[in-house]
A and B are shown apart, each in its own frame.
Chain A
Amino acid sequence: MKLLLRVYPRRWRTRYGDELLSLLEAEPLTWRVAANVLRCGLGERLRGSDSAPVRVLWAWSLFVTGGMAFQKASEHWQVVVPGADRALPTAAFDTAQVAAAIGSVAVLAAVALAFPAFVRDLRSGGWTALRRPIVIASAVTAVAAGALVAVALDHDVAAAWIFVTSAVGSLFAWTRAATLAARRLPPVRVHRQLALTVTATMVVVTLAATAWFASVTAHAPSFVGAEQLAVIAMFMAAGLALAATGARVEGRGPAA
């Protein structure tokens, strides 16, 4: 049950965690109760004090996961679409790629702008707080790199799965480290503007990917498998939803 409470923000858990745990222990833990706690815990996180840039960074990571699945699912799509009908899917695909590139540049620019303050924070004692998440992220990245080498050497299926899992894990581990670091830094106005830019590129990528999907499946309905589509849609939708809450925070004014 304590694990279930981890979904709540730390500050909320410190204040109400013991009481909620006591309440949960008073009665059988059904799936309905678990779902209620999970939903409300996520709600508390969204309601929390995270600034728009921090939310959008998490949203971007979710979206990139969906984007990687989209990239994989869309390989060799030209084979199933006749040459005369490729104009729309080509335009949609190129638009998605350009928007994704702009979003990536905006994220990297935000990281670069925060870097001097990050280094100052590390030198003034921040390393103690950030050491663990950075070590974890480095370890997961090392696993991903090792798996990639194994895949390159003998195309092993198990290594490929380890690579995919650890690559996604690495992305989220670094995102966690970055957001923990960002919470310690003074707010910068340009970060909020970059967050809005990233959100806008996510919307464009989603629209372009949808147009590409519709135009390609018109010729080959089963080109993108149901499981692939579910993964793409789930991560992209989750990323967009989280980014929208960041934009809403931004719309209410400078929260950070």
Chain B
Amino acid sequence: MTNPSLLILTSLSSGPKHGHALLLDIESFAGVRLGPGTLYGAISRLDEQGLIEPLDADARRRPYRITAAGATTLAESLEDLRRIVLTGTTRLAAAT
């Protein structure tokens, strides 16, 4: 999974959000400011894959929520990352 997709799923795991709220939330927890095109490119792919789903639009702002498949995918991705972080941390500690 690409990083923007992982960041979006992580953000939506705390509840539905529209595009601007996603940008602000991702910036707050990851320190990354996604470009609007990058954000909506990732949203459209996650939507196509059924990992997120749109809710009723509030004016032109449409909130999205994570689906069950999205939650499973996020859990698997985070587990992969956890293994990488653990391995990296262990090897780095042994090398220093």
Residues of A within 8 A of B (CB): 12, 15-16, 18-24, 26, 32-33, 36-41, 43-44
Contact = CB atoms under 8 A, between A and B. Distances in A.
B22 to A, nearest CB: 9
B37 A40 contact: yes
Contact of B60 (A12, A21, A33, A41): A21
A21 B62 CA distance: 12
B35 A40 contact: yes
A12 B41 CA distance: 10
Highest count of chain A CB atoms <10 Å: which of B20, B37, B41, B57: B37
Contacts of A19: 18-19, 40, 57, 60-62
Interface in B28-45: 35-41, 43-44
A15 B40 CA distance: 11
A23 B19 contact: yes
A32 B44 CA distance: 21
A12 B61 CA distance: 16
A35 B80 CA distance: 32
B61 A22 contact: yes
Contacts of A44: 41, 44
Secondary structure of the A side of the interface? helix
B59 interface: yes
B23 interface: yes
Interface extent on B, as a size class?
10 to 19
A23 B35 contact: no
A19 B37 CA distance: 11
Contacts of A26: 20
A18 B36 contact: no
Contacts of A16: 40, 43-44
Contacts of A38: 37
A167 B59 CA distance: 44
Contacts of B37: 20, 36-41
A23 B62 CA distance: 10
A93 B36 CA distance: 46
Highest count of chain A CB atoms <10 Å: which of B18, B36, B38: B36
A160 B43 CA distance: 47
25 contacts: A16-B43, A16-B44, A18-B60, A19-B18, A19-B40, A19-B57, A20-B19, A20-B36, A22-B20, A22-B60, A22-B61, A23-B19, A23-B20, A23-B36, A23-B40, A26-B20, A33-B35, A36-B37, A36-B38, A38-B37, A39-B37, A40-B35, A41-B37, A43-B41, A44-B41
Nearest to B41: A40
Given A18-B60, A19-B19, A24 B36 contact: yes
Given A36-B35, A36-B36, A37-B35, 12 more contacts: A16-B40, A18-B60, A20-B37, A20-B40, A22-B20, A22-B59, A22-B60, A23-B19, A24-B36, A37-B37, A40-B40, A40-B41
